[in-house]
């Protein structure tokens, strides 16, 4: 006998769509009870749909993410109408297309809008026209991802999903009498309707009753509403959810009445926790920033950054020896010159403070990777990252000086150039300058995504680089923006960047993960001065455990997707890792 034999299964699909699923349940021996939670009604005007159907040739792709969209759209399409390429989110949608004699050119393997968007984006040319036929509750992820890929997406809403309360009394009666073995939920809208119908009694009424969701999107919606989900198939189809229910009930005699997973088994001891730890910090992950200054005998602590120092060149060797002994293999050099001018000439001077520091470090420890921060703000009298005219930072004239700076740093021996200025086209200009000067093998670590952040305050004291007028919001990014980060990164990749960086890190871990998912280059997170100083201040006041907080924060950055982390904590962490 099958595991579903005699089990009462609540079918919550729309009234005119429940019968096929109920038939499959009967074949498995279950007792289906149909109580629709939602209803589908057409949303588009028939004349508008008919007119649109005659010009489908204007589009390169026709995209459907539900069978309902197919059935509300294709009755208006003539069988003789020539169609563009058609994409369907999964087998159910593809089957609905087959009812109209249409074979989709693209069906993803895991039936999600995200996967469909990734596959389709790889086939689109920039400017391709896409018609996305959808319901009113369709998630925005697919059109957003296609637009990011350069497509022109037109969205057409052909149906609305509305709550159906007609079976409320029957639903409440069955759940109160404990006569339902499993509730099936086939969409987030069904979840919303169920919660609305059950009200405050939802948790009580569903306790002891298994809840089965068609896939992870619906499961997430249910769990956000506080509904515990016991069943979710890996095959997001009616057959898949029936198989998952059969598997669940086949284990009925081997578990408690209220089933749950015992995740704590893998947390019992420190040794077990270490065995299953997913993210690890290594000393090779870290880049340590250095601030070099003119003069002699200087090792002066930055007041707002305890443990960080201004170092003159004669005091630099002891610092570099200490860094090397700790196993840190990379440093980033910032310079603080005595003299500044309107065009930041010390930035590209052969005898500039950074150029001398680079030569000295490479002579002392040739194996040390020296990364040169390439910007003008520390060297200009106005404190901005480029050429200023009439209180405006000029983009293109700044590029020439930035390329000149990068070449001078490479000539001094820098292993990596790290431009942080955020001028449009800076990677292309610097790549061309390096190549023309013979430094074709010197990589560029681009500050690709650099926000106009409030977390930079202590650094500006350390580097003496605060703007003397205005701010940097016309060239650094708005902290509220996410999609802009993708455009910035894409531009830098096309222009020749070898690394991408996100700065700051702590408040932008979502961006770190986004960039890691989209681009194959090594990703750097800059754990900036404000993040450092907040922790130092709290630790000095005894409010937090500095080591525990720092290790948790940096682990979070690496878990988010960072391959490398620029951090003022690098020396501290190297010591802690060696303990």
pLDDT of 568 reads: 97
Q: Which residues contact 130 (CB under 8 A, 6 or more apart)?
A: 59, 60, 61, 62, 63, 120, 124, 143, 146, 151, 152, 153, 154
**pLDDT over threshold 80, residue 435:** yes
- Say what percent of the chain tops pLDDT 70: 96
DSSP character for 15?
G
Report whether pLDDT(254) > 80: no
pLDDT confidence band for 372 (50 / 70 / 90): very high
For 438, counting Cβ atoms within 10 Å of its Cβ (0-12 exposed, 13-18 middle, 19+ buried), the class is exposed
| Residue numbers annotated as active site | 450, 503
Stretch 247-259: mean pLDDT: 68
| pLDDT recorded at residue 466 | 63
Half-sphere exposure of 164 (CA within 13 A, CB side): 20
Residue 230 clears pLDDT 90, i.e. is over it: yes
Residue 56, SS3 per DSSP: helix
Residue 256 has pLDDT above 70, yes or no: no
Per-residue confidence (pLDDT) for residue 192, from 0 to 100: 92
Q: Are 31 and 7 in contact (CB under 8 A)?
A: yes
Share of residues in the chain with pLDDT > 90 (%): 66
Find all residues with CB under 8 Å of 294, minimum gap 6, and list them.
312, 336, 337, 338, 353
d(CA 50, CA 72): 12
> Concatenated DSSP letters for 386-431?
SEEETTEEEHHHHHHHHHHHHHHHHHHT-SEEEE-S--TTHHHHHH
Q: Specify the pTM.
A: 0.58
Averaged pLDDT, 383-387: 74
C-alpha span between 26 and 305 (Å, rounded):
70
| Nearest-5° Cα angle at 423, 428 to 373 | 80
* Greater model confidence, 393 or 493: 493
Q: Poorest-confidence range of 46-55, 319-328, 354-363? A: 46-55
Q: How far apart are CA 31 and CA 231, in angstroms?
A: 18
> In 3D, which of 496, 313, 485, 493 has the Cα closest to residue 403?
496
CB–CB of 452/478 below 8 Å? Answer: yes
Pull the structure tokens for residue 393.
């930072």
* Average of per-residue pLDDT values in the chain: 90
Check whether 408 has a pLDDT greater than 80: yes
* pLDDT tops 90 at residue 566: yes
Residue ranges and CATH numbers for the domains of the chain are 8-37+164-261 (3.40.50.10090), 41-163 (3.40.50.10090), 283-578 (3.20.20.70)
pLDDT of 330 > 80? The answer is yes
- How far is 90 from 188, CA to CA, in rounded Å? 17
Mean pLDDT of 398-417: 94
Confidence of residue 106 (pLDDT cuts 50, 70, 90): very high
Cα four-point dihedral sign 214, 218, 224, 225? negative
Tell how strand 387-389 and strand 392-394 pair up. antiparallel
The two tokens of residue 268 are 């019992």
CA atoms in the 13 A half-sphere facing the CB of 476: 22
Average pLDDT value for residue range 177-206:
90
Mean pLDDT for the stretch of residues 79-108: 91
What pLDDT is attached to residue 524? Answer: 97
Strand order in the sheet with 210-213: 31-34, 8-11, 182-185, 210-213
Q: Which distant-in-sequence residues (6+ apart) come within 8 Å of 318 by Cβ?
A: none
pLDDT attached to residue 415: 97
pLDDT over 80 (residue 44): no
- The β-bridge relationship of strands 523-527 and 564-567 is parallel
Q: Dump the DSSP string for 352-385.
A: -HHHHHHHHHHHH-TTSEEEEEE-STTTBTT--S
Dist. CA 143–CA 483, nearest whole Å: 13
Residue 242: the pLDDT is: 94
pLDDT for residue 470: 66
Distance CA(421)–CA(372), nearest Å, equals: 13
Q: Assess whether pLDDT exceeds 80 at residue 467.
A: no
Residues 398-406: what's their mean pLDDT?
91
Q: How far is residue 186's CA from residue 213's CA, in Å, rounded to a whole number?
A: 6
Q: Which of 182, 180, 226 is nearest to 203 (CA)?
A: 226
Structure tokens at 115: 């996967």
| Tokens, residue 314 | 């004669």
Mean pLDDT confidence for 333-360 = 89
Question: What average pLDDT does range 228-240 have in this prediction?
Answer: 90
In angstroms, rounded to a whole number, what is the distance separating the alpha carbons of residues 169 and 430?
70
What pLDDT is stored for residue 63 in this prediction? 95
111: alpha, beta or left, given left = phi > 0 and alpha = psi -120 to 50? left
- Both tokens of 429, joined, read 């200009």
Q: Is 95 left (phi over 0), alpha (psi -120 to 50) or beta?
A: alpha
């Amino acid at each position: 006998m099958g595991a579903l034999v005699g089990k009462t299964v609540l079918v919550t699909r729309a009234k005119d769509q429940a019968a096929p699923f109920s038939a499959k349940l009967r074949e498995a021996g279950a007792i289906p009870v149909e109580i629709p939670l939602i209803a589908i009604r057409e949303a588009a005007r028939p004349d508008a749909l008919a007119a649109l159907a005659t010009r489908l040739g204007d589009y390169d792709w026709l995209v459907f993410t539900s069978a309902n969209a197919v059935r509300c759209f294709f009755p208006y399409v003539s069988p003789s109408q020539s169609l563009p390429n058609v994409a369907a989110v999964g087998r159910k949608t593809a089957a609905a297309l087959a009812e109209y004699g249409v074979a989709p050119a693209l069906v993803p393997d895991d039936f999600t809008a995200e996967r469909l968007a990734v596959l389709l984006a790889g086939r689109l040319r920039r400017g391709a026209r896409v018609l996305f036929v959808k319901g009113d509750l369709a998630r925005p992820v697919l059109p957003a991802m296609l637009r990011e890929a350069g497509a022109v997406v037109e969205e057409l809403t052909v149906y609305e999903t509305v709550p159906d309360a007609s079976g409320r009394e029957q639903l409440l009666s069955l759940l109160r009498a404990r006569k339902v073995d499993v509730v099936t939920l086939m969409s987030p809208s069904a979840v919303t309707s169920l919660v609305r119908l059950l009200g405050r009694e939802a948790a009580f009424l569903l306790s002891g009753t298994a809840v089965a969701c068609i896939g992870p999107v619906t499961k997430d919606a249910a769990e956000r509403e506080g509904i515990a989900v016991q069943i979710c198939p890996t095959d997001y189809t009616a057959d898949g959810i029936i198989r998952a229910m059969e598997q669940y009930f086949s284990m009925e005699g081997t578990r408690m009445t209220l089933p749950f997973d015992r995740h704590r088994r893998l947390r019992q001891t420190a040794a077990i926790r270490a065995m299953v730890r997913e993210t690890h910090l290594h000393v090779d992950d870290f880049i340590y920033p250095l601030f070099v200054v003119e003069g002699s005998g200087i090792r002066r602590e930055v007041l707002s950054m305890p443990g960080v120092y201004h170092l003159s060149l004669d005091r630099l060797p002891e610092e570099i020896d200490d860094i090397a002994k700790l196993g840190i293999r990379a440093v980033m050099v910032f310079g603080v010159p005595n003299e500044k001018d309107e065009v930041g000439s010390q930035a590209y001077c052969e005898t500039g403070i950074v150029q001398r520091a680079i030569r000295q470090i490479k002579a002392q420890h040739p194996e040390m990777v020296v990364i040169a921060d390439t910007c003008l703000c520390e060297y200009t009298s106005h404190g901005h990252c480029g050429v200023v005219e009439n209180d405006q930072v000029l983009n293109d004239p700044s590029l020439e000086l930035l390329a000149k700076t990068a070449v001078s740093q490479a000539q001094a021996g820098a292993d990596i150039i790290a431009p942080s200025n955020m001028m449009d086209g800076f990677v292309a200009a610097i790549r061309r300058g390096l190549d023309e000067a013979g430094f074709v093998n010197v990589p560029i670590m681009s500050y690709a995504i650099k926000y106009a952040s409030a977390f930079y305050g202590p650094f500006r004291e350390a580097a003496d680089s605060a703007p003397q007028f205005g701010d940097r919001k016309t060239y650094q990014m708005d902290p509220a923006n996410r999609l802009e980060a993708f455009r910035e990164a894409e531009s830098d990749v096309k222009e020749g960047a070898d690394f991408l960086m996100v700065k700051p890190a702590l408040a932008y871990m979502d961006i770190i993960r986004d960039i890691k998912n989209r681009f194959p280059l090594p990703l750097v997170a800059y754990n900036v001065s404000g993040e450092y100083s907040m922790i130092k201040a709290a630790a000095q006041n005894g409010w937090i455990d500095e080591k525990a907080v720092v290790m948790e924060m940096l682990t979070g950055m690496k878990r988010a997707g960072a391959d490398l982390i620029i951090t003022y904590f690098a020396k501290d962490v190297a010591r802690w890792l060696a303990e």
